[in-house]
Structure 1
Amino acid sequence: CEDDCGTNRGIWVTAALDGTTVVATLGERVLGRTAQEDVKNPATGEIIVPRGKLIDEVDVDKITAAGVEKIYIRSPLTCESKDGVCAKCYGRDLARGTPVNIGEAVGVIAAQSIGEPGTQLTMRTFHVGGTAQNVEVSAIESGFDGVVKFTASEPVVNTKGEAIITSRDCELAIVDDNGAVKAHYHVPFGAVVAVKGGDKVVKGQRLAEWNAYVIPYFIDKEGAVRFENFVDGETIREIRDEATGLTQIRVIETHGTAKKAQIVLEKDGSSVAVYNLPANSTVMLESGAAVKRGDIYATIEIERKSRDITGGLPRVAELFEARKPKDCAIISEIDGVVEFGRDYKAKQRIVVKGEKDIEREYLVPKGKLILVQDGDTVHQGDKLTDGAEDPHDILRVKGLEAFAQHMVKEIQDVYRLQGVKINDKHIEVITRQMLQKEEVTDAGDTTLTQGEQVDQQTLDKENAKAVAAGGRPASASPILLGITKASLQTNSFISAASFQETTRVLTESAVSGRTDDLVGLKENVIVGRLIPAGTGSVVNRLKIEAAARDREIEASEPAALPTVEEQPEA
């Protein structure tokens, strides 16, 4: 409990989007939070909100008028207070509309804010019904008037004259006459772009579109097409469309070391490229056709089904318990180029080759949909296969900020579907508790052991001892605990025993001789003391100050008073 922990860390916040629709504006999300960096007007460079100021309604109006895209704010997640969170990192007390008081039980408020609307959430898995939610976002429209600017890679023009995005990191920005960025859009791989760099666009104009139910595979060189290993019934199957009378070539799955259907690109009598055709793909070219970069050689259709999602309470529980989703996506741990290695039994081998001979190998079950192609450049955290992302992987590969954004987005999506509004800071407070432990990766010269789970304070204390003795400090990486496990691993054994598995917690605590400093609310309630929240926190603070003053007085007195035996006789 303190006013300011003095941290320089924070999190970036942008407007919350659902596809291209804004569901929560930037102003709504930063209201009542502390700015960690100066918020500047993108056009003039004028400081709208200085660093360290609590953002109020007047500031929100200025931020909205200036068209600020993102703001760096203090967060309970990055707070460095030893006990609880500091007032600056928490921000405004949402009950009173004033800066939060020291001693406020923000953890209890966060739990109640998330738990209370839970009564309105449905208990069952439901189909996200209706046509509106069944249709995936498949176009980008400009939200502002301005000029188009491609910030990463330009589109490629194919033989049909279409401008195609063939990279996975294409960004499109709309800038105003002063060069200030009004909006940023990520253009997905395979999109057809309707505008060129430097074009003037108006609000509502379509910038790009794509088919959300088809994964395209692109040619990246010029040449003539030759089919290799096309054997009907073995590697391919010809399917005749009854309605049109046209025949399509569908690639079938081959097992083991059997030959695979390939498209060979030839130029001047020699082959310039070979493309392995993925299983269940439809061939889009004819043998002998002249092609150029950006032409599609195959497509895979994604099933058009109403997404059967876990909604309501089961989804919230799944997120807060940090459960690994079944059939989850594989994500790349490094930046690099994708290569397909030799198949291993019933699995495909994907190798990502990075700089300095660093490479990572992933084995993917044969039937799983692979989202990348041979030769693609991928970034750390990009999905290689289809499926839901594992929160543990997000934290390990992408880091704390990406994990926090994922948690806030996923939980808010569930509540928004039911029309419930929850402030982000409550989710951040709970997430902070899930991230309180770190796993020791290298023990160094400390008394810790590799693989041990410790909190940040214990790690800092042990490292300080090791460094003072001239040794090597330990290193650790953050780990994610579900809320049930996090509650049982708290420093207070009384609090853990009052929650679950009472006998086990008490016997283990007795055997290891644990002590409880009675810091939290539950342990003080159980032993019948004044809780350290509200006025109780003031009493605690006064007691600490009085004890410190007593120690000072004792230290300053020259000698102790004589005892009864030492008194001289009258």
Structure 2
Amino acid sequence: MRENIKCNKTFDKKEIRSLIEWFLNNYGGIRTIKLLDKLKALGFKQASIAGISLGIDDLKIPETKKILFKNTEKDLNKIEIKAKNGRINSLNRLDKITETWNRTNELLKDEVIKNLRQTDLLNPVYMMTFSGARGNISQIKQLIGMRGLMSDSQGEIINLPIKSNLKEGLKIPEYFISCYGARKGLVDTAIKTANSGYLTRRLIYAAQSLIVKKNDCKSKYNKLLLSLKKDKKYYKILQEKILGRVIARDIYDKRKNKVIASAGQDICQYTLKRISIYKKIYIRSPLTCKLNTGICQLCYGWNLANGRMVELGESIGILAAQSIGEPGTQLTMRTFHTGGVFAGEVAETIIAPHSGNIKYNSFSKGREIETKYREKAFFTLEEKKLTITDGKTQKSVIYIPCYSIIFSKNNEEVSNRQILAQLCDWQELKGKKKKKELREIKEIKTKISGQVYFDTINKKEENGIIWIINGNILTNKILYKNRIKKNYIIKHIFLETKNENYKQINIINNDSKTQRIQKNYLSHKELKKLKEFNIDNKLKSKIYCVNKVTNRKKEFLTNKKLLTKSLKIRENLPKIGEFVYKNKIIGRRFVNKYPLQVIEIKKDHLKVQKANPTTISKNCQINIKNNSLTKKNKTIFYTHHQKQKTEDIVQGLPKIEELLEAKKTSNFRSISNNPHEKLKKLFTCFEKKYSNEIAVRKSIDRIQKLLVEKIQSVYKTQGVNICDKHMEIIIKQMTSKVIILEAGDSNLINGETIEINKIEKINYKLETKVKYEPIIIGISKISLSNQSFISEASFQETTSVLTKSAIEGKIDWLCGLKENLILGNLIPVGTGYKMQKTL
């Protein structure tokens, strides 16, 4: 007798699922039912004994929250200094704020889990969440961590994070910010669930007639899968793709000189382990099934419900439509529960376990780099050992993997929970893996008014700085009445006390070589008008400089303040006209609080004026001219900016619909590289090399693969796994027809659409072959171009469908489910021997 197998480990939802799957594969369905009954009884019994309840004291806030916030504020202060110095522009600053708070939120989530795990394993909150029974970590994070960044009604991020959690309670501004997310959740639950339901309905109508009709269609076409990697993650992906499929070509081992797996064999767990080491695996797919109506057993493979070969009469079209539509409905509900909290990708980081001195070999493989936020870091090309020592009490050793960015310098003091390094994806670095970016054109505006100054700027590199020299812009007609003509520059406006009614303005003629001073007087009434432009007639010592006169716009630039900085030691002084950044020591006497431009250097003092720098982005479009005047909030340049949006199904559903409907336009704009354009390009390319039939098949194969990948990528971002098989059935319907270009010897008409399998069979018997081109049809159009006019009429456009069918004298052969259901007949599906005989 076999001994009882003992498993001394925690069985959460995932482990129980694996146990049931293993038991089903090894012991069959009848014994599995008995096991499930026993598990159910055990669960109810233990739940009753435990009597788990939830109280406010069970929500334990980690003490490290304050430390993480302190480190975050320190990082953000550095970014603010960089932004004021013009090292990064406003968009990069906002991105950094978002990235930093999002990373802090993730680190705090890890601290919450760590705190619960280390202090109280029997905490009801911990048990409920991590067993998979109730709730998820996103909700627990909001209860005892921080709510974090919120998204608004459009899904874009509000850059002010909610630092409080729900146990601590929200402050008034935080409450109002969180209202955006709450409202979004309610709206999404109401509206988007209906959209998801309509998508499911269209999918059902598109695929309802797909039934397993025959054992084998004898298709010569197949699907190729490449098995290049041998790591655990890729093996799992490969397992999902090919488990339960049928092998199309023999897999031959050249070394052992024998067949490992033969064509027509289904792939089980045992076969998968043997064939996963080979690079090329050819499998049968519903996409290439040759039957005119329905799909054959071998092209479909296993019925995923029971792990056996699909039986004849199985309604696989309905099954596929439900598998794709159902997660959409579920995920729209989930947005309500999370409450509009921002969820985006965060790079994996390594933090210091305690404060101390950090040491590592900085002369090994790697190089010093500068991030897009102008942060100096070390990029390592090999695994690196980091040692953190805090006197004699604590010592920690951390191993940093290769292709990581280390932010801390060698022999530097680091604080507790400080970010030491960030892990990078090597495929992204090498350009093999392209990061999906949603880009839009953004405008950068100036915060102050003044004169524009910039050197020669290279638009392809991020190295140019545009300076705005602070000043007021005057547009006053009075100055023009007083004989101030073209190219005259007002150097000083000052007061004289001799005459109370008139004030003198000295004007220098800039055109003539010998500069001539022309005196103009303004009356007391005119001075009142000038007061509106910050000209003060009380303070005698105040000096106003006018740098530029623009005749067309009639604009004058006046500087409010010229600052004087006293000097004691004349070392490392800047030159006249040079710009000085914030926090730079001048003459070892003072640290300037903001960026400046030096105007005059004397023995004991330095004259400076305020300036505002902005770094230009790569490939930007500059909107202003050098030395021109600009007003506050005027656009300096336009730049391409990567949009950050919360990744939820509300953004995903329109994308899925766009792909399944094969849309050419969206919001009155044509979609670039839409499937129709891609298919046309592929076909014209293949037509030059191959015959018409092969060119059509190859181009359809490429576009089918692309559509499967794109739809799957949307669901995978939500953590939803849908078998490729279900996608392939819907996409088969979308790509199953072609349009006739030249009729040849057939009775077909140019421009007519026909199934690809039918036309290939017709062409086989003709001397002059029919020429045709592949097309993609959206799921709504498929439902309205069905063989059955009864099914079409029950979907939409009932009057036009019935009228058209009556004029054409159409016959409905009652092949599908819908038409038989409407007439009250038995539907042509069902499994077993009798069904096999009927088919």
Tell whether 2:216 aligns with 1:7. Answer: no
Q: 1:516 & 1:131 partners in 2: Cα distance?
A: 52
Q: Which runs of 5+ in 2 are unaligned?
A: 1-212, 350-423, 438-454, 468-578, 583-612, 623-636, 683-698
- Structure with more contact order per residue of length (Cα contacts < 8 Å, sep ≥ 6): 2
* 1:396 equivalenced with 2:692 (yes/no): no
CA contact (8 A) 2:739 2:772 kept: yes
Aligned to 1:130: 344
Higher helix share: 2
1:27 aligns with 2:239: yes
Aligned to 1:209: 429
Distance in 2 (alpha carbons) for counterparts of 1:306 and 1:23: 32
* CA shift for structure 1 position 108: 1.0
Matching residue within 268, 275, 280 for 1:56: 268
In structure 1, the residue corresponding to 2:759 is in which secondary structure? helix
Secondary structure of 1:516's match? coil
Deviates more, 1:487-496 or 1:397-406: 397-406
Quick one: structure 1 residues 515 and 133, their matched pair in 2 at CA, closer, same or farther if it must change by over 3 Å?
Answer: farther
Counterpart in the other structure of 2:778? 482
Q: Which moved more, 1:2-11 or 1:400-409?
A: 400-409
Letter in 2 for 1:108: I
Per-residue deviation, 1:253? 6.7
- Measured after TM superposition, the shift of residue 40 of structure 1 is 4.3
Paired position in structure 2 for 1:227: none
Match of 2:713 in 1: 413
Deviation at 1:119, TM superposition (A): 1.6
Q: Cα offset for 1:210?
A: 5.3
- Letter of the aligned partner of 1:501 in structure 2? E
User: Does 2:608 align with 1:312?
Assistant: no
Matched residue type, 1:411: I
The aligned counterpart of 1:491 is 787
> How far off its partner does 1:47 sit?
3.5
Deviation at 1:462, TM superposition (A): 5.2
SS in structure 2 opposite 1:530?
coil
Q: 1:328·1:388 contact (CA, 8 Å) conserved in 2? A: no
Q: Are 1:108 and 2:318 counterparts?
A: yes
CA separation of 1:534 and 1:42: change in aligned 2, threshold 3 A = same
Amino acid at match of 1:437: K
Q: What's 1:567 paired with?
A: none
Distance 2:325 2:314 in 1: 18
Query: How far is the alpha carbon of 1:80 from its aligned partner?
Result: 0.1
Cα separation, 1, equivalents of 2:832 and 2:427: 59
Whichever of the two has the greater Rg, that structure is 2
**8 Å contact kept, 2:788–2:813:** yes
Once the 2 structures are TM-superposed, how far is the Cα of residue 27 of structure 1 from its aligned partner?
2.3
Alignment of 1:324-403 (within 5 A): 324=664, 326=666, 389-398=673-682, 399-403=699-703
- Structure 1 counterpart of 2:247, which letter? A
Sort the Cα spacing of 1:109 and 1:50 in 2 relative to 1 into closer, same or farther, 3 A: same
CA contact (8 A) 1:128 1:306 kept: no
Tell me by how many angstroms 1:312 deviates.
3.3
1:504 to 793, 800, 814: 800
State the secondary structure of the residue aligned to 1:12.
Answer: strand
2:293 to 62, 66, 83: 83
Secondary structure of the 1:519 match is: coil
Alpha-carbon distance, 1:121 to partner: 2.3
- Is 1:303 matched up with 2:641? yes
- SS at structure 2 position matched to 1:311: helix
Instruction: Map 1:99-498 to 2 at 5 A.
Output: 99-122=309-332, 129-132=343-346, 209=429, 239-240=465-466, 303-306=641-644, 311-324=651-664, 326=666, 389-398=673-682, 399-456=699-756, 458-460=758-760, 463=763, 467=766, 472-498=768-794
In angstroms, what is the RMSD of aligned CA positions? 4.6
Counterpart of 1:13 in 2: which secondary structure?
strand
Compared CA separation, residues 535 and 32, structure 1 to 2 (3 A) = closer
Structure 1 vs Structure 2: percent identity of aligned residues? Answer: 36
The answer as to whether partners of 2:789 and 2:801 remain within 8 angstroms in 1 is: yes
Residue number in structure 1 paired with 2:250: 38
SS class of match (1:438): strand
The code of the aligned residue for 1:429 comes to I
SS of residue paired to 2:641: coil
Name the CA distance, whole Å, in 2 between partners of 1:115 and 1:246. Answer: 48
* TM-score with structure 1 setting the length: 0.53
Q: Secondary structure at the match of 1:122?
A: helix
Q: Distance in 1 between matches of 2:704 and 2:818?
A: 27
Given that 1:122 and 1:312 are in contact with CA atoms closer than 8 Å, whether structure 2 keeps it comes out as no
Give me the whole-angstrom Cα distance separating, in 1, the residues matched to 2:221 and 2:725: 16
Check whether the contact 2:328–2:653 (CA below 8 A) recurs between aligned residues: yes
Deviation at 1:494, TM superposition (A): 1.1
Distance 1:2 1:328, change over 3 A: farther
Letter in 2 for 1:99: M
Residues of 2 paired with 1:133 and 1:518: CA distance?
55
